[in-house]
Amino acid sequence: MNLRRVVVTGLGALTPIGNNLQEYWDGLANGVSGAAPITRFDASKFKTQFACEIKNFDVEQYIDKKEARKMDPFTQYAMIVVEEAMKDSGLDLENIDLHRAGVIWGSGIGGLKTFQDEVTSFAHGDGTPRFNPFFIPKMIADISAGFLSIKYGFKGPNFVTVSACASATNALIDAFNYIRLGKADIFISGGSEAAVTEAGIGGFNAMKALSQRNDSPETASRPFDKDREGFVLGEGAGALILEEYEHAKARGAKIYAELVGGAMTADAHHITAPHPEGEGAGNVMKLALEDAGLTPEDIDYINVHGTSTPLGDVSEVKAIQKVFGPHAYNLNISSTKSMTGHLLGAAGAIEAIAAIFAVQKDLVPPTINHFTDDENLDTKLNLTFNKAQERKVNAALSNTFGFGGHNCSIIFKKIAE
């Protein structure tokens, strides 16, 4: 079977280091930290009192107040980044087959703030069941894709993937497969998350997953550093417009990169901890390379999952060394979570954008906040510490792994006519 080619023709971003695509890339290229004390609520009694929040954000600058009230923040973020991506793509909705255009979105948690607020309100009341009529529609994760399809009239496949922190990459791979199998021509895909709430911080604190470096939030996310002690929670969204190559070419679309391969595996090991030897992580990268028809030597850059946890960073590096062998020392490797924090189900979307920009601009974003080498990691690897590096990037791989043992890898290449 001849598989069709899939390209990226539009991008949108709303992140802790930039509220649009250009600001986000500038933040990555310049090694900006998005971590700061929490402003969403009084965090003084929490073990972790900081996060990577979106800054200088007013939803009414983007969405009508009445409409915004019908949406949880995670859906608001989705609507905002997709509007940017759609404008960036130059798609003319009157000249495409809307039945062959779909939406596959990702969110690991969905409407956490809505759920928290409604249940808290009920619990503090007199027991009379008073709930907002929008409670359920605002909370459910799939509503983001529903809102997007309604806004743009996309009548093709429409759903949301939920695979914890792998959700957005899972969504991108699903959309990629629909297009290359000939079942659609265009997809809105990506992910959004809005978990910087009392429940989000408190829940991850209870798991001992978050950094508690309250005296220095901006340096708390430090992947691969000897003194890393947990991830920093982030929020935001990223959107990609995926399009069949000939369809994009026919309308003279700008093409950022070609999506050439993707894969998904499971650790089948533990509900939260990665496999210590990176078995599932290694297998998913190997399968993504096979899917793309590439060898390990074809990859120039890996945007790693790299959350800044003691176990996760080591197991991922072990997996890379196993899959890439001697070529691992020729790679640039970096964790952009050192800047953005961990956007959970949206991480794969903004990190795919980072990989795409690395391919397009031949610039690898850094892993910031490196102070002390970890003796458990091979110091000969180029983990792109503290400063962006220029190099030819013909192909980039992006990893995202999630609680439950979900692993996703996706590969982008420079477009070849």
Q: Are 244 and 380 in contact (CB under 8 A)?
A: no
Sheet holding 186-193, edge to edge: 158-161, 101-106, 186-193, 236-244, 6-14, 257-266, 406-413, 395-402, 301-303, 332-334
Strands (DSSP E) found in 24-69:
36-37, 50-51
Strands 36-37 and 301-303: unpaired
Q: What is the DSSP string of 243-265?
A: EEHHHHHHTT----EEEEEEEEE
User: Measured between alpha carbons, how far is 360 from 375 in angstroms, rounded to an integer?
Assistant: 34
For this structure, is 165 an active site residue?
yes
The Cα 382–Cα 97 span in angstroms is 45
> Is residue 82 a contact partner of residue 188, using CB atoms and an 8 Å limit?
yes
CA separation, residue 117 to residues 72, 169, 199 (Å): 11, 29, 10
- Which residue among 165, 201, 233, 259 is the active-site one? 165
Among candidates 66, 56, 59, which has minimal Cα distance to 16? Answer: 56
| Cα–Cα distances in angstroms (integers) from residue 98 to residues 91, 94, 154, 379, in the given order | 11, 9, 5, 51
From residue 13, alpha-carbon distances to 79, 135, 279 in Å are 11, 27, 32
The two structure tokens encoding residue 145: 């894709």
Active site residues: 165
